[in-house]
Structure 1
Amino acid sequence: MPQDSLGNLIPGIVSPQRVVPAHIPRPEYVGKAAPAPFTGSDVYSAEDVERIRLSGRLAADAIALVEEHAVPGVTTDRLDQIAHDFLISHNAYPSTLGYRGYPKSLCSSLNEVVCHGIPDDTVLRDGDILNIDITAYLDGFHGDTNRTLLIGNVAEETRLLVERTEEALRRGIRAVAPGREVNVIGRTIEAYAKRFGYGVVRDYTGHGVGAAFHSGLIIPHYDSAPRYNDVMVPGMVFTIEPMLTLGGIEWDLWADDWTVTTRDKSLTAQFEHTLVVTETGADILTLPSAK
């Protein structure tokens, strides 16, 4: 497993980019250095919300399938293959593949990796935690979700970090209501995380999603008032995706220009849903299919 002499992660070997059949529609940014500027709205019609839900459900189902295979001895590249095959078998495009040059169909962020880890030949070990972030593009819309998985038997401190990060997401979602500013979401998340002394990552946020992978709308996970004061309205679609750490929130970026790790190498967990603001709160659009 790629590690340095201190036991910290280092880049592994990345396999060739996987192929998407030609009949599957691509997002407009594939093959370009960057996506076109988004000029649409973050507020969607009921019909388009249902299209986002279909994409989101596929992404959630892909994560559920990956979770079944995320065990000690498996590589993150193998998990990428599983998700890739699942999405294309449902005629969906893996949104990360080719986004600003990203080479894989999911993000696999292990242990001290905050976000955007690239699947490679890294082998999962007992006691690891692994965030899997998958976005599906179907019928012109993206659905974006992630969750942190426990690999084998993890330490109690690690398990609590993961459980509490998921609870932070739930609390952030409960804070959603029309007429409120988006900064109430981060205020709620940070207040909860501080009870346990966790760091709340500030530089990577939730975002508008739907017709665009990232629309430009920013949803912070910390108390950002009054800087981020967009008012939530019914039909608005965005992600909430808190990243909590056992240590500090300073980070380093690998030479691949994607992989973000905690500077102090502390463990970090993340959970994410895409949701739509309703008349009374929020409706989660990235729930898996009922079994």
Structure 2
Amino acid sequence: MVELKSAAEIARMRVTGEFVANVLAELRDRARIGVNLLELEAHVRERIRERGAVSCYWDYSPSFGRGPFRNTVCLSVNDAVLHGLPFDYALRDGDVLTADLAVGIDGWVADSATTVIVGTPAPADSRLVRATEEALEAAISVALPGNRIGDISAAIAGVAHAYGYPVNTEFGGHGLGRTMHEDPHIPNHGRPGRGYTLRPGLTIAIEPWFARTTDRIITDPDGWTIRSADGSRTAHSEHTVAITEAGPQVLTRAA
């Protein structure tokens, strides 16, 4: 069931969104050569504790994972793109790191993801990251009342195809608000004019992610970390967005 939020409720989600954005900005700054993924996880855990927030990932047990997830942030490296389980790994020059963070504050959730290249970026990796960022902005631009989910999906796929990247439709965006995952599902490929009609008060996470040369994925033995099936590198960008009469409002930009 889709739940529409009031302006006051969206404002409360924005508070959470700004916290998520600020923590992700801190992770981008801390993601340097030699830094261990477990150090980044520890930083997020402490920031959540200080704020009195609640991690949406801790004890997360969906049907597709080997639950419960016992970390506060997803950290995915290189060919890993989603649900990366933090482990004892020191970042290396040229690594592509995606951090995906969902948090609740006072009962309202925000979800965002960012991909950063550690040290010296390879041009092909920078291009991949840029494609997900452009796809996210293209999707946000059509998140307007009266448009449909398919318009968002088609905008994402259009950017991917322009860059020559295939698109996986198994995991995509979703509604959120009181919980991390609500209706509707937002695939990263679709047809314009199809699907659920966007209405003011709808709050959604839009999250394009691409692998360089495949649309197929595999899951690590840890039961969580999702990788490109062919080992090609990946990137992921995500924002929480509110549909309003005045246009889309991004709730997970740093203040």
Q: Shorter chain as normaliser: what TM range?
A: over 0.9
User: Whole-Å Cα distance in 2 between the matches of residues 184 and 42 of structure 1?
Assistant: 20
Give 1:180 shift.
Answer: 1.1
User: Whole-Å Cα distance in 1 between the matches of residues 178 and 223 of structure 2?
Assistant: 25
Matched residue SS, 1:59: helix
Residue 51 (1) aligns with residue 18 (2): no
Residue 60 (1) aligns with residue 21 (2): yes
Look up the match of 2:64. none
Aligned length: 249
2:213 to 208, 232, 247: 247
More strand by share: 2
Whether the 8 Å CA contact 1:181–1:229 is kept in 2: the answer is yes
Give 1:224 shift.
Answer: 4.8
User: Whole-Å Cα distance in 2 between the matches of residues 245 and 210 of structure 1?
Assistant: 28
Residue identity (%)? 31
TM-score, structure 1 normalization = 0.83
Question: CA 1:224–1:96 in structure 2 vs 1: closer, same or farther (change >3 Å)?
Answer: farther
Look up the match of 1:218. 185
User: Whole-Å Cα distance in 2 between the matches of residues 62 and 112 of structure 1?
Assistant: 23
2:36 to 54, 72, 75: 75
127-136 or 248-257: which moved more? 248-257
Look up the match of 2:164. 197
Within a 5 Å distance, the mapping from 1:1-291 to structure 2 comes to 41-100=2-61, 101-224=68-191, 229-289=195-255
Structure with more relative contact order (C-alpha pairs < 8 Å, separation 6 or more)? 2
User: Whole-Å Cα distance in 1 between the matches of residues 210 and 24 of structure 2?
Assistant: 20
Letter aligned with residue 256 of structure 1: D
Letter aligned with residue 208 of structure 1: G
Which has more radius of gyration?
Answer: 1
Give 1:55 shift.
Answer: 0.9
Give 1:187 shift.
Answer: 0.5
User: Whole-Å Cα distance in 1 between the matches of residues 163 and 105 of structure 2?
Assistant: 39
Give 1:135 shift.
Answer: 1.0
Once the two structures are superposed, residues 10-64 of structure 1 have per-residue CA deviations (whole angstroms, 9 ceiling, x without a partner) of xxxxxxxxxxxxxxxxxxxxxxxxxxxxx6x431011111111111111111111
Letter aligned with residue 55 of structure 2: P
User: Whole-Å Cα distance in 2 between the matches of residues 196 and 53 of structure 1?
Assistant: 32
Letter aligned with residue 236 of structure 1: L
Letter aligned with residue 76 of structure 1: L
> What is the root-mean-square deviation of aligned Cα atoms in Å?
1.3
Letter aligned with residue 188 of structure 2: H
Give 1:96 shift.
Answer: 0.8
Look up the match of 1:8. none
Letter aligned with residue 130 of structure 1: L
Whether the 8 Å CA contact 1:201–1:242 is kept in 2: the answer is no
Matched residue SS, 2:205: strand
Whether the 8 Å CA contact 1:76–1:124 is kept in 2: the answer is yes
Once the two structures are superposed, residues 73-103 of structure 1 have per-residue CA deviations (whole angstroms, 9 ceiling, x without a partner) of 1111110111111121111112111111111
Give 1:193 shift.
Answer: 1.2
Whether the 8 Å CA contact 1:56–1:286 is kept in 2: the answer is yes
User: Whole-Å Cα distance in 2 between the matches of residues 237 and 113 of structure 1?
Assistant: 27
Give 1:201 shift.
Answer: 2.1
User: Whole-Å Cα distance in 1 between the matches of residues 171 and 222 of structure 2?
Assistant: 17
Give 1:220 shift.
Answer: 1.1
Query: Unaligned 5+ residue runs, structure 1?
Result: 1-38
Letter aligned with residue 14 of structure 2: R
